[in-house]
Structure 1
Amino acid sequence: MARRAARGAAVAAAAAGSSGDPTLYSIIAPTYNEAQNMPLLAALLDEACAAAGLTYELVVVDDGSPDGTADVVRALQAVYGAQRLRLVSRPRKLGLGSAYAAGLAASSGGWVVLMDADLSHHPKHIPALVARQAATGADVVCGSRYLPDGGVAGWGLARKLTSRGANVLARTALGLAPSDLTGAFRLYRRALLARLLPAARCTGYAFQMEVVARAAAAGARIEEVPIVFVDRLYGASKLGPHEFAQFLSGLARLLLEL
């Protein structure tokens, strides 16, 4: 209940300005023990957006990382500015959905990019997400590992098969077209995301599947671009058997609700 309340409160705070600045891209990156990755993420993001002429803000939502992630972000604010690099510091892990909602409440862009902070999602792909939206008028653009020219690097065969199998299962069961339902690298129209987050009930990696499924059910136009997902350079992966069980539970929930 506390997790759901935190998510709802943050989204309610964002709803008043749900359209946002249409020229600003708010990039929301939840973190837990990502201190080693933050300097490079900030630098690569700034480089990619500058090269593409994109105005952006990076909103880091840190869930009480014991490795000092929040302190690293504060130090980086001296380089990039507190308006360009925002920090939402929370006392403990409160869930991925509530982290996105908290980031949305702290942001002001009309377009929102959700991405991982561990460098698995390279910022160089952001201009492609933006270009695809501009060309199609899409409400959501997903970065897909499973389109031609997409892929993954650094995974073993078992993990590749698990991810691919989960996506095929979800696409077939839910009747959805996007090739990568569990990927977390996406561009959303802000007003749409503000409506979707309060309805989301799944946790962990099933959350990504649920949000795009609810977007499709709401009639949103969803497009994709290929990305290459690279396994994290620093820190430990947070994916395990518990997350896969959450995925199956979330899929069952969506089959009943949608």
Structure 2
Amino acid sequence: MKMISKYSILLPTYNEKENLPVIVYLIHKYLEHCAIDYEIIIIDDGSPDGTLEIAKQLETIYGKKKIILRPREKKLGLGTAYIHGIKHATGNFIIIMDADLSHHPKFILDFIKKQAEKNYDVVTGSRYIGNGGVYGWDFKRKLVSRGANFVTQLLLRPKVSDLTGSFRLYKKSVLEELIQSCVSKGYVFQMEMIIRARQLNFTIGEVPITFVDRVYGESKLGGSEIIQFVKALLHLFATT
């Protein structure tokens, strides 16, 4: 008897009060239309802009079975947000994506279809294959992203075209195992997850996605994150 799939979508948030209602609406629109069983786990890290109050309103609108609120008191980082979210996930698949509308929920259907093709352990979105791409970035930011990806490919040879992306689908058991072996925090966490997945011989599928720069709010990527990225990359190179 085939097990019915359920998808737990983890949405870590920090100051996303404008974006959260839109992303939740779009997830609901695309998945409900296809009769896909899902839940959205919102992990707000003490946003001062009232994101949690908006999330509570969404919980009332869509119901407690669809919207699960698991807030934390302060900003504790992306990696720990996923760990926190997984503890409360009831799906056998986990989808991680950004809440700032840079990842369009319509691609979730492509992830699900790709996973089913070869029963992949991980499916990752790529801006660098097929009709994938980036919108809203200036030349400098595109150059930094491409450069980071190129250097990472050169040093770590992961056989995945887009290592720094953060739109992915995992089998829940696989994600739990990967997180246990992961040491990075923040933005580098995504990159290390793919490196560890290759090390542990998990199968990885890729689907083209378009990444759109955030519409509302400020980007959380700054100089300190770039320095952190370089340090972590060198650490991974030395230890994997």
TM-score, with structure 2 as normaliser? 0.97
Provide the C-alpha distance between the structure 2 equivalents of 1:142 and 1:195, rounded to a whole number of angstroms.
17
Counterpart secondary structure, 1:113: strand
Describe the superposition over 1:38-62 as per-residue Cα deviations: whole angstroms up to 9, x where unpaired: 1111110001112232111000100
Divergent runs of 4+, >4 A = none
SS across alignment from 2:193: helix
2:154 equivalent in structure 1: 172
Aligned letter for 2:207? V
CA contact (8 A) 1:22 1:109 kept: no
User: Which residue number corresponds to residue 32 of structure 2?
Assistant: 50
Offset at 1:199?
A: 2.1
Gaps of 5+ in 2: none
Of 186, 192, 215 in structure 2, the residue corresponding to residue 233 of structure 1 is 215
1:132 matched to which residue of 2?
114
Q: Secondary structure at the match of 2:169?
A: strand
SS at match of 2:5: strand
| Preserved CA contact (<8 Å) 1:138 1:223 | yes
Partner of 2:175: 193
1:211 to 181, 193, 197: 193
SS in 2 for 1:39: helix
Contact 2:158 2:194 (8 Å CA) reproduced: no
- Contact 1:114–1:186 (CA under 8 A) maintained in structure 2: yes
Distance 1:242 1:52 in 2: 41
Identity of aligned residues (%): 45
Aligned partner of 1:72 in structure 2 is: 54
Superposition map of 1:90-169 within 5 A: 90-169=72-151
- How far does residue 248 in structure 1 lie from its aligned partner after superposition? 0.9
Deviation at 1:201, TM superposition (A): 1.5
Kindly provide the CA deviation profile for residues 130-156 of structure 1, in whole angstroms up to 9, marking residues without a partner as x: 100001211000000111200010000
Query: What's the CA shift for 1:22?
Result: 5.1
Mapped partners of 1:177, 1:191: distance in 2:
22
Which residue of the partner structure matches residue 225 of structure 2?
243
2:7 to 18, 25, 35: 25
State the partner residue of 1:6: none
Rounded Cα–Cα distance in structure 1 between residues aligned with 2:102 and 2:53: 22
Distance in 1, matches of 2:226 and 2:53, equals 32
1:142-192 C-alpha deviation (Å, 9 max, x unpaired):
000111200010000000010011011111110111110000000001001
SS at match of 2:39: strand
Q: Which whole-Å CA distance do the structure 1 matches of 2:35 and 2:153 have between them?
A: 35
Gaps of 5+ in 1: 1-20
SS at match of 1:109: coil
Q: TM-score, normalised by structure 1?
A: 0.90
Q: Give SS of 1:61's match.
A: strand
Q: Distance in 1 between matches of 2:185 and 2:64?
A: 30
Number of positions where the alignment pairs a residue of Structure 1 with one of Structure 2: 238
Cα RMSD for the two superposed structures: 1.0
What amino acid is the match of 2:149?
N
Q: After the TM superposition, which residues 5-20 of structure 1 pair with which residues of structure 2 at under 5 Å, given as runs?
A: none
Output one character per residue of 1:60-108: Cα deviation in whole Å (capped at 9) or x when no partner. Answer: 1000000111110111111111111011110001111000000101111
Q: SS of the residue aligned with 1:187?
A: strand
